[in-house]
Amino acid sequence: MDQKTYIKSLYIIAVLFFVFGFVTWINAMLIPYFKICCELNNLESYFVAFAFYISYLFISFPASLLLKKVGFKNGMMIGFFVMAIGAFIFVPAALMRNYLLFLIGLFTLGAGLAVLQTAANPYVTILGPKESAAMRFSIMGICNKFAGILAPLLFAAVILKSSDQALFEQVKSMQAIERAPLLDELIRRVILPYSCVGVILILLGFLVRFSSLPEINTEKEDEVTAESNKGKHHIFQFPHLILGAIAIFVHVGSQVIAVDTIIGYAHSMDISLLEAKVFPSYTLTATIVGYVLGISLIPKYLSQVFALRACILLGILFTLCIVFCNGSVTILGHRADISIWFIVLLGFANSMIWAGIWPLSMDRLGRFIKIGAAILIMGLSGNAVMPLVYGHLADVYGLQNAYLVLLPCYLYLLFYAYKGYKLERWLN
């Protein structure tokens, strides 16, 4: 691939990762918003994340078969169209204030995104040398997280008014018959933004289909890889990949907890929803700082593996600080318990983990790379499961103590970063 095609391809994939981030991280605002409008408890509200991400578990493998049949570009177009259907489902869901229909729309959005992710992530790995794959993932991560910073703020600007905080308090003391019309009016504010999102997704589908993005032949193996994979007939003969999928599961689960729960945690400190809406942006900004460092230092000064291990160790440290550190502080104009700022710092700790796991897991797969990518994308279902676990623990043990669920996640990641990625065969 020549340099011009390489640069163009990176730009196109960067746009895809921006879209991934915008659609994904808007859930951080949907969770508390639906909790109010649909009158949900903590556990019920986190079904927003569950419905969105559980689609990865069911769709990723069919997505790999689809990509094998129609190619990457046609597959991406189909993914965008499926996402658009999910966005349009929000219209009848809002008109009926039907939480189940919202969840179906979120599942459909996630299904289309699963197809896109299954196609886009191998592109990032294959487009250049594997030693610099973490650097390319860092660039894509910046696009993803920058969109994540914008999404909750833009969503809040469209659907929230300065007078809403008083309305939220008023609603709590109303009888059900008085409350219903006000909640109906609140939930219908999502109709316009999601209708616009649906139209944009359709346009993006056509743009990608007719773009200059090259098709990549993933069936051809180099001699070394072909010799290494001789006698291997299915994907479960690659332990470093299967263990990597589990690593992706616990990593994305811990990452989404840090972003999607922070508004609720801030709200528990008597910080209004209008003020708390900026906290996911702080977490994602910390992640972008980590990405910038990754681009600057990898592979010239640091190896991908070293960066992965360092970030995991920071994750363990910050998790312990979230649970065991207390005391009110004022930072960036917010008066809050210091523990919330360690949740923000988890954004930095999480920054290079995906970029470290993905190339290590995809290494040596050869002709199995599409199905391997699907297995890893299935790991994104951790985003569905982990917030529910956190929500249940929060209802039982309190919001702060529930963050202990992150500790076993980081401990498993530590195992993978030191031993799991090296395994070439299962132990007898």
User: 141-164: per-residue pLDDT in tens?
Assistant: 888 888 878 887 788 788 877 666
CB 148 within 8 A of CB 22: yes
Q: Which of 222-236, 369-383, 398-412 has the least mean pLDDT?
A: 222-236
Q: Which of 93-102, 269-278, 392-401 has the least mean pLDDT?
A: 269-278
Instruction: Look at residue 2 and tell me whether its pLDDT is greater than 70.
Output: no
pLDDT at residue number 424? 79
pLDDT at residue number 143? 87
> Hey, is 220 helix, strand or coil?
coil
pLDDT at residue number 164? 67
Alpha helices in 127-220 (DSSP H): 133-159, 164-172, 176-187, 191-209
Instruction: Tell me the mean pLDDT in the region 264-278.
Output: 86
Instruction: Tell me the mean pLDDT in the region 9-22.
Output: 85
pLDDT at residue number 155? 81
**What is the rounded end-to-end Cα distance, in angstroms, of the chain?**
42
pLDDT at residue number 427? 67
Q: How many CA atoms lie within 13 A of 58 on its CB side?
A: 12
Q: What is the residue whose two structure tokens read 């969109």? A: 147
pLDDT at residue number 20? 82
Task: Tell me which residue of 59, 54, 256 sits closest to 145, measured CA to CA.
Answer: 256
pLDDT digits (tens, 9 = 90+) for 219-269: 555 555 555 556 566 778 889 899 999 999 999 999 989 988 998 899 889
pLDDT bin (cut points 50, 70, 90) of residue 186 is confident
pLDDT at residue number 89? 96
Instruction: Look at residue 130 and tell me whether its pLDDT is greater than 80.
Output: no
Q: How far from 243 is each of 169, 256, 373, 392, 409, CA to CA, in Å?
A: 47, 20, 13, 26, 13
> Hey, is 236 helix, strand or coil?
helix
Q: Which of 31-40, 125-134, 416-425 has the least mean pLDDT?
A: 125-134
pLDDT bin (cut points 50, 70, 90) of residue 27 is confident
User: Buried b / exposed e across 384-414, counting CB within 10 Å, b at 16+?
Assistant: bbbbbebbebbeeeebbebbbbbeebbebbb
pLDDT at residue number 228? 56
Residue 406 CA to residue 402 CA, distance in Å, equals 9
pLDDT bin (cut points 50, 70, 90) of residue 167 is low
pLDDT at residue number 101? 95
Instruction: Tell me the mean pLDDT in the region 335-340.
Output: 94
Superfamily of domain 3-210+237-422: MFS general substrate transporter like domains (1.20.1250.20)
Q: Which helix (H) or strand (E) holds 330?
A: strand 328-331
User: Mean of the per-residue pLDDT values for the chain?
Assistant: 85
Task: Tell me which residue of 410, 376, 85, 103 sits closest to 245, measured CA to CA.
Answer: 376
CB 74 within 8 A of CB 126: no
Query: What residue spans define the domains of the chain?
Result: 3-210+237-422
Instruction: Tell me the mean pLDDT in the region 316-331.
Output: 95
Query: Which residues 6+ apart lie within 8 Å of 293 measured at CB?
Result: 351
